[in-house]
């Protein structure tokens, strides 16, 4: 019999005993040349911060390459590409990373630099998936096929503003300013 997919279940609030680790938020060590911070807050539908969410990031390296055997251009070892940050009491998360380069788009062309995001948390029976784009990449963003398919207000929910030492973006799970979430 063909196996069928195992359904998702929520992480509930006590994932913090098992999932976060000290180096989790550090895709690269803080003193790496070019290191940036990307962070923000997670809010619920009442505009309250979500203190028991887990934000995970996955991205290409500054050349747009992945340390992964399925990258048809070949694997480039050395860049973990993955960050994991639990939110704090104020709903705040942060990862330290390098800015990704552009990644090839299916069908040709390039995608603007972006970071794939998973948000898990109490009350989320399944992860939600979004992307972070960069506010100082106006030209690349304008040509990005994923952003091009969205309306202005939707697109704005995905674009991180430049901030001290990096970029800032909040995630709104529900309602006013709701972040665009993707079905992948």
Q: Which of residues 113-132 bind other proteins (CB under 8 A)?
A: 114, 116, 118, 120-129
Query: Tokens representing 148?
Result: 């091009």
- CB of 106 vs other proteins, minimal distance in Å: 5
Q: Are 174 and 45 in contact (CB under 8 A)?
A: yes
Give the nearer residue to other proteins in terms of CB position, either 34 or 72.
Answer: 72
Query: Looking at 63, 80, 143, 168, which residue binds other proteins (CB under 8 A)?
Result: 80
Q: 36 to 65, contacts with other proteins by CB under 8 A?
A: 44-46, 48, 50, 56, 58-60
- The residues, ordered by sequence, that sit 6+ positions from 124 with a Cβ below 8 Å of its Cβ are 10, 11, 53, 173
Under the criterion CB under 8 A, does residue 155 sit at the interface with other proteins?
Answer: no
Q: Are 25 and 83 in contact (CB under 8 A)?
A: yes
Q: CB-side exposure of 104: number of CA atoms within 13 Å?
A: 8
Under the criterion CB under 8 A, does residue 101 sit at the interface with other proteins?
Answer: no
Integer Cα distance of 21 and 137 in angstroms: 32
Q: How many residues bind other proteins (CB under 8 A)?
A: 74
Q: Are 19 and 11 in contact (CB under 8 A)?
A: yes
- CB of 121 vs other proteins, minimal distance in Å: 7
Query: Looking at 85, 97, 111, 141, which residue binds other proteins (CB under 8 A)?
Result: 111
Query: Looking at 72, 89, 152, 164, which residue binds other proteins (CB under 8 A)?
Result: 72
**Which span sits near other proteins by CB under 8 A: 28-36, 70-78, 86-94, 132-140?**
70-78
Segment holding 180, helix H or strand E: none
* Radius of gyration in angstroms for the set of CA atoms belonging to the chain, rounded to a whole number: 16
Neighbours of 117 (CB within 10 A): 26
Under the criterion CB under 8 A, does residue 143 sit at the interface with other proteins?
Answer: no
Query: Looking at 62, 67, 143, 163, which residue binds other proteins (CB under 8 A)?
Result: 67
Under the criterion CB under 8 A, does residue 156 sit at the interface with other proteins?
Answer: no
């Amino acid at each position: 019999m063909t196996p069928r997919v195992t359904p998702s279940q929520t992480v509930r609030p006590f994932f913090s005993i098992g999932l976060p680790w000290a180096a989790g938020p550090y895709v690269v060590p803080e003193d790496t040349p070019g290191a940036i911070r990307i962070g923000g807050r997670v809010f619920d539908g009442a505009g309250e911060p979500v203190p028991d969410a887990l934000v995970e990031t996955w991205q290409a390296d500054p050349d747009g390459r992945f340390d992964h055997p399925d990258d048809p251009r070949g694997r480039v070892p050395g860049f973990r590409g993955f960050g994991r940050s639990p939110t704090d009491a104020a709903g705040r998360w942060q990862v330290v990373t390098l800015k990704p380069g552009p990644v090839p788009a299916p069908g040709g062309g390039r995608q603007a630099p972006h970071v794939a995001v998973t948000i898990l948390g109490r009350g989320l029976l399944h992860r939600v998936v979004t992307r972070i784009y960069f506010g100082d990449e106006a030209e690349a963003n304008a040509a990005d096929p994923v952003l091009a398919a969205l309306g202005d207000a939707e697109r704005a929910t995905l674009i991180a503003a430049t901030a001290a030492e990096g970029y800032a973006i909040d995630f709104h799970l529900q309602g006013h300013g709701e972040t665009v979430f993707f079905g992948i």
